[in-house]
């Protein structure tokens, strides 16, 4: 048997990027030989094994044929006769379809190296169109390598467009989609992921609520960029620049969905967009089965981001309601993430990227003031049950009044 490094490990070494996980392909071997060498099978009907020591993935060279809709609709054929070239041609991009032996000899039948130099994300063969997940993968690689100057080859973008129109994208499971979306959002330029999806028409299929924001104007005084879609991309860009976690990035992407519902007569104003957007945020959350913390933060940021921006003008009672709603006493981290999302929203505006955001410290101070109310003295005064709850709220309100006066 011959063993080669494939995929991301080869690509990233040639790009001079750190290689984290290595995928291997094994040519000329049978399942029995692999098991005899101590490799552990990953799945029953999948010719992939884990190395007994390193735990890295070793896949038998295989060919694939599409036999139905969705991911289940693939037939694999793995046998010792399948060549390296036959295995590489089933891969998505030319830059992902190179292999390397232990002497670093490159096998590159589909000119991945040429495309690396040309900074092009190009599909390997027309079989690209057989798996709609590749639309998301290419957009994700575009987000990752945008900083190096990579773009999607026009003919690949065309195939991606056809996949969007064919209805195949709808066949993707929530799990496979979310895995790509969440990884893409954590790249250095997540806004490029959304841009590429939009360019090939896939955004309209996957997240019509986000797609609808493009072409929707906002008041120029607050939004020099005017367009709500452009604003959303800038907010995402800021979130990545500031190294925000996935929860914050997801909330940034969805915070203004309500603006897509404003009747044109009301443009460029968006009265109550915060509340109107909630059902859309919920729909996107559920479509991709986003993790609970992402879902929760997106809904809270959607509903309360304007409160965040107006923090310094809020009445103490409104401030208290906000803090209670966020349960800042037990969930301090979530409130920090809310503040971060608001700040990214404020900076994701043309020419305002470096503005200061005093609301952030003001909100932190308010949370601390409310948190500093001690329960023990109230217990000692004999408060119990619902009355105790009311008494705590009264004390917190007092603390917030004092905080606002001092600030």
Where along the sequence are the contacts to ligand ATP (CB under 6 A)? Answer: 7-8, 21, 23, 91-92, 96-97, 131, 133-134, 137
Q: Which is nearer to Mg ion, 175 or 286 (CB)?
A: 175
Q: Which is nearer to ligand ATP, 111 or 334 (CB)?
A: 111
At 202, phi and psi to the nearest 5?
-75, -25
CB-nearer residue toward ligand ATP: 92 or 195: 92
Q: Residue 144 CB, nearest distance to Mg ion (Å)?
A: 12
178-193 burial: b if 16+ Cβ within 10 Å, else e: bebbbbbbbbebbbbb
180 vs 274, beta carbon nearer Mg ion: 180
How many residues belong to the chain?
Answer: 407
The residue number whose beta carbon is nearest to Mg ion equals 8
* Partner touching 10 among ligand ATP, Mg ion, none, CB below 5 to 8 Å by kind: none
134 binds, among ligand ATP, Mg ion, none (CB under 5 to 8 A by kind): ligand ATP
Nearer to Mg ion, 8 or 132 (CB): 8
Residue at token pair 């917030």: 400
Partner that binds at residue 96, options Mg ion, ligand ATP, none, CB closer than 5 to 8 Å by kind:
ligand ATP
Interatomic CA distance for residues 164 and 154, integer angstroms: 15
Among 8, 229, 302, 308, binds Mg ion (CB under 5 A): 8
Nearer to ligand ATP by Cβ, of 83 and 306: the residue is 83
In the complex, least distance from residue 139 CB atom to ligand ATP, rounded to whole angstroms: 13
Q: Per CB under 5 A, does 99 bind Mg ion? A: no
Cis check for the bond before 61: say yes or no (omega within 30 of 0).
Answer: no
Phi, psi torsion values for 24, nearest 5 degrees:
-120, 150
Q: How far is the CB of 7 from Mg ion (least distance, A)?
A: 5
Q: How far is the CB of 124 from ligand ATP (least distance, A)?
A: 8
Q: How far does the chain reach from its first CA to its final CA, in angstroms?
A: 72
Q: Which residue sits closest to ligand ATP, CB atoms considered?
A: 8
Cβ-based nearer residue to ligand ATP, 134 or 255: 134
Least distance from ligand ATP to the Cβ atom of residue 218, Å? 35
Instruction: Give me the least distance between CB of 21 and Mg ion, in Å please.
Output: 5
Give the nearest distance from C-beta 247 to ligand ATP in angstroms: 21
Q: Which is nearer to ligand ATP, 137 or 249 (CB)?
A: 137
243 φψ region: left (φ > 0), alpha (ψ -120 to 50), beta (else)? left
Nearer to ligand ATP, 90 or 347 (CB): 90
- Give CA–CA dist 308/319, Å, rounded: 10
Residues 253, 259, 264, 268, CA torsion sign = negative
Which residues 20-79 are close enough to bind Mg ion by CB under 5 A? 21
How far is the C-alpha of 184 from the C-alpha of 233, rounded, in Å?
13
DSSP state of 125: S
Q: Which residues of 75-90 are buried (b: 16+ CB within 10 A; e: fewer)?
A: eeebeeebebebbbbb
The encoded tokens of residue 369 equal: 């003031």
Stated as kind and residue range, the H or E segment containing 42 is strand 40-43
Q: Percentages helix, strand, coil for the chain, rounded to the nearest 5?
A: 55, 10, 30
Nearest-approach distance from CB 103 to Mg ion, in angstroms: 22
CA dist 126 and 92 (Å) reads 10
CB of 243 to ligand ATP, least distance (A): 19
Say whether 316 sits in a helix, a strand or coil. helix
CA distance 259 to 267: 9
Residues that bind Mg ion (CB under 5 A): 8, 21
């Amino acid at each position: 048997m011959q063993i080669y490094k494939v995929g991301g490990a080869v690509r990233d070494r040639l790009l001079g990027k750190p290689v984290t996980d290595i995928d291997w392909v094994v040519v000329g071997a049978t399942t029995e030989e692999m098991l005899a060498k101590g490799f552990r099978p990953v799945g029953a009907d999948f010719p992939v094994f884990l190395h007994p020591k390193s735990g890295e993935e070793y896949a038998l060279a295989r060919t694939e044929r599409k036999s139905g809709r969705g991911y289940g609709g693939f037939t694999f054929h793995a046998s010792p006769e399948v060549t390296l070239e036959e295995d590489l041609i089933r891969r998505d991009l030319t830059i992902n379809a190179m292999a390397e032996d232990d002497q670093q000899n490159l096998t590159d039948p589909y000119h991945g190296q040429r495309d690396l130099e040309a900074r092009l994300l190009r599909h390997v063969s027309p079989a690209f169109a057989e798996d709609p997940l590749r639309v998301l993968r290419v957009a994700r690689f575009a987000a990752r390598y945008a900083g190096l100057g990579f773009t999607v080859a026009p003919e690949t973008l065309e195939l991606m467009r056809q996949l969007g129109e064919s209805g195949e994208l709808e066949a993707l499971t929530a799990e496979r989609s979310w895995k790509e979306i969440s990884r893409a959002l954590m790249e250095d330029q997540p806004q490029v992921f959304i841009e590429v999806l939009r360019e090939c028409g896939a955004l309209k299929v996957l997240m019509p609520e986000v797609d609808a924001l493009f072409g929707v104007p906002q008041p120029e005084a607050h939004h020099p960029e005017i367009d709500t879609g452009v604003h959303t991309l800038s907010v995402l860009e800021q979130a990545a620049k500031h190294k925000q976690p996935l929860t914050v990035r997801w909330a940034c992407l969805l915070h203004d969905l309500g603006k897509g519902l404003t009747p044109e007569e009301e443009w460029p104003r968006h009265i109550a967009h915060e509340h109107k957007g909630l059902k859309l945020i919920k729909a996107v959350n559920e479509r991709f089965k986003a993790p609970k913390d992402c879902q929760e933060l997106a809904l809270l940021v959607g509903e309360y981001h304007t409160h965040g921006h107006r923090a310094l003008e809020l009445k103490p009672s409104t401030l208290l309601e906000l803090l209670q709603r966020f349960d800042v006493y037990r969930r301090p981290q979530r409130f920090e993430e809310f503040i971060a999302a608001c700040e990214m929203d404020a900076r994701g505006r043309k020419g305002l990227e470096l503005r200061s955001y005093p609301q952030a410290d003001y909100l932190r101070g308010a949370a601390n003031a409310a948190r500093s109310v001690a329960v023990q003295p109230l217990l000692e005064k004999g408060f119990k049950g619902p009355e105790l709850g009311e008494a705590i709220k009264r004390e917190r309100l007092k603390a917030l009044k004092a905080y606002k006066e001092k600030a």
